[in-house]
Amino acid sequence: MAGTAKEFLERWRQSYIYAEAPGFETLDNVVDECLRDAKAEGHSEDDLKEAAGGDLRAYIRAAVKKTSGE
């Protein structure tokens, strides 16, 4: 699927984090999975970090926090 890194993150957040609601204990695995999925679609880690506002881990942590109700 083509698109920008920002579009990828939005799509990935909706289909992975909001659909599967992973917990904080798996945050490192969630970040790794995001990077693998992004690479498969042609997005670099640097592109994702930029799209996430500079900190991909914090971006994903915020999304996980939102699904956990914290």
Contacts of 62 (CB under 8 A, 6+ apart): none
2 has a pLDDT exceeding 60: no
Total-model pTM: 0.81
Contacts of 28 (CB under 8 A, 6+ apart): none
Give the model confidence (pLDDT) of 24-50 as tens digits: 778 899 899 999 999 999 999 999 999
